[in-house]
Amino acid sequence: MNREGTRWIKSGDGCYLLDEKGRRLLDGLAGLWCVNVGYNCAAIVEAVHAQMEELPYYPSFFNTTTEPPVLLAEWLAKHAPARLNKVIYSNSGSESNETALKIIRAFWKLRGKSGKRKILSREFAYHGVTLAATSLTGLPNCSDPFDLPLEDFIRVPTPYAWNDRVAASEGYGAEIIAKTAEIIDREGAETIAAMFVEPIQGAGGVLVPPPGYLKALRELCRERDILFVADEVITAFGRLGVWFASEREGLDPDLLNVAKGLTSGYLPLGATLVSDEIADVILPAGYFAHGYTYTGHPVCAAAGLANVGVIEELGLVDRVRNDAGPYFQQKLAELAEHPAVGEVRGDNLIGAAELVPRGGRPSASRGDRDGLQPGMALGLKAADLIREEDAIVRGIRDLIALAPPLIITRAEIDELFDSVRRGLDRLWK
């Protein structure tokens, strides 16, 4: 930022932002995959204001708590996949993963299996930036500068068909599962505590798993007595046209992490949802020495309650599934025809386009990739050009990622893809 200059965002309304020069930008990334209800949502602002006046803060320590986190926990337990009936709060997605890791260690220790300490996660995974969350993250640019991962964090492959130059078929997914099983057997299932999984890998490049893969991964973990943790920091709260991707995919996770869309980003809040089976081991053991000063912050929880209330009232989850999501995917599929695009992939209101350089595309085959060179960073270049065309998308390696607010209309989706096309036209010139 220091070297290249810093952009300011001054205000926001609906799906739009105004920068310091008064330029109007359509936010195709919902902030950072999180402003699900859009900007300037009066119901959240009012709920936060009212809670600030009534009680701005009190900790969830000393057998004491406040009302909003209890009501929000009740809402979460009611809407989350069946076995997840306990909620423990934090302040971010990273911390929700951190909390899950401590619960997992305590669980196996209490079960007399302290040897189960290793944690599996996948290449291209993104789970946050604390020491342990970075250790879960499968992106070398996040972990290498810090000599991470820590000991006992084991990486397994992920299905990334474009990268592997294969079709995203069921057979390909099965191959990745077989490789994962090999690693588990090599390490010894009796040494493995849990596996962390994003149902769709977001920051790693919007990696949409092939059919059958997630279910098979879940079954593999169950067979080997490895806890299955769904990191739904991006996928929960409607982006995929469901409250929780785990529900749609039948993942039946042992733990589930949320943040971002829990408050639509209006205030920081994360939560780890815990299964009855785990809670039944942890709770009778007595004092669970884990809590942040801001655990269950009443104002953040009030924002969360108002946020899920708005999503319900506007019927946003159904709207994404039945209208905005399919329309967005249609427009994304049309973008695949653009000469700068090698592949598109997505699910409801999340999507990505892998870009190819001019001259690298003699045909519409997978050979398109051959023009790519390391360090081209086509995604960043494209995102800058698209911003000049009045829309924000995220550039990652050689791809662009999109995840607009759930309130986006068809006309705004058209506008978003028009900006993307204009930016890609310029990239291709």
Ligand X SMILES: Cc1ncc(COP(=O)(O)O)c(C=O)c1O
Nearer to ligand X, 119 or 341 (CB): 119
Contact flag: residue 301 with ligand X (CB under 6 A): no
Contact flag: residue 30 with ligand X (CB under 6 A): no
Contact flag: residue 94 with ligand X (CB under 6 A): yes
Contact flag: residue 197 with ligand X (CB under 6 A): no
Nearer to ligand X, 92 or 272 (CB): 92
Closest approach, Cβ 183 to ligand X, in A, equals 21
Give the binding range for ligand X (CB under 6 A) out of 44-52, 114-122, 197-205, 305-313: 197-205
Nearer to ligand X, 91 or 419 (CB): 91
Among 206, 234, 301, 305, binds ligand X (CB under 6 A): 234
Closest approach, Cβ 236 to ligand X, in A, equals 10
User: Residue of minimal CB distance from ligand X?
Assistant: 93
Closest approach, Cβ 94 to ligand X, in A, equals 3
Closest approach, Cβ 257 to ligand X, in A, equals 7
Nearer to ligand X, 344 or 401 (CB): 401
Closest approach, Cβ 382 to ligand X, in A, equals 20
Picking from 354, 353, 346, the residue whose alpha carbon sits closest to that of residue 320 is: 346
Nearer to ligand X, 126 or 213 (CB): 126
Contact 399, 354 (CB under 8 A): yes
Closest approach, Cβ 91 to ligand X, in A, equals 8
Give the binding range for ligand X (CB under 6 A) out of 5-13, 124-132, 154-162, 273-281: 124-132
Contact 244, 84 (CB under 8 A): no
Closest approach, Cβ 28 to ligand X, in A, equals 16
Give the binding range for ligand X (CB under 6 A) out of 39-47, 195-203, 347-355, 364-372: 195-203
Closest approach, Cβ 214 to ligand X, in A, equals 14
Closest approach, Cβ 108 to ligand X, in A, equals 22
Helices (H), 35-188: 42-54, 67-79, 93-110, 131-136, 140-143, 161-164, 170-187
Nearer to ligand X, 342 or 346 (CB): 346
Dist CA 336 CA 334 (whole Å): 5
Among 12, 31, 68, 128, binds ligand X (CB under 6 A): 128
Contact flag: residue 127 with ligand X (CB under 6 A): yes
Closest approach, Cβ 126 to ligand X, in A, equals 5
Cβ neighbours of residue 332 closer than 8 Å, sequence gap 6 or more: 344, 346, 351, 353, 402, 417
Dist CA 306 CA 222 (whole Å): 36
Cβ neighbours of residue 251 closer than 8 Å, sequence gap 6 or more: 81, 197, 199, 214, 215, 218, 228, 230, 245
Picking from 246, 240, 172, 155, the residue whose alpha carbon sits closest to that of residue 209 is: 172
Cβ neighbours of residue 372 closer than 8 Å, sequence gap 6 or more: 356, 357, 360, 378, 398
The CA-atom distances, in angstroms, between 88 and each of 257, 262, 272 are 10, 13, 5
Dist CA 355 CA 423 (whole Å): 12
Give the binding range for ligand X (CB under 6 A) out of 142-150, 227-235, 310-318, 400-408: 227-235
Nearer to ligand X, 202 or 405 (CB): 202
Dist CA 33 CA 41 (whole Å): 17
Closest approach, Cβ 196 to ligand X, in A, equals 9
Among 198, 247, 249, 398, binds ligand X (CB under 6 A): 198
- Tell me: cis bond preceding 339? Omega within 30 of 0 counts: no
Residue pointed to by tokens 């000049």: 388
Picking from 333, 238, 257, the residue whose alpha carbon sits closest to that of residue 93 is: 257
* Subset of 253-292 contacting ligand X (CB under 6 A): 259
- CA-angle at 18, arms to 14 and 24, nearest 5°: 85
Q: How many positions of this chain bind ligand X (CB under 6 A)? A: 13
Contact 32, 17 (CB under 8 A): no
Contact flag: residue 92 with ligand X (CB under 6 A): yes
Nearer to ligand X, 331 or 394 (CB): 394
Dist CA 326 CA 249 (whole Å): 18
Neighbouring-strand partners of residue 230: 197, 256
Contact flag: residue 134 with ligand X (CB under 6 A): no
Helices (H), 389-409: none
Residues at the interface with ligand X (CB under 6 A): 92-94, 126-128, 198, 202-203, 231, 233-234, 259
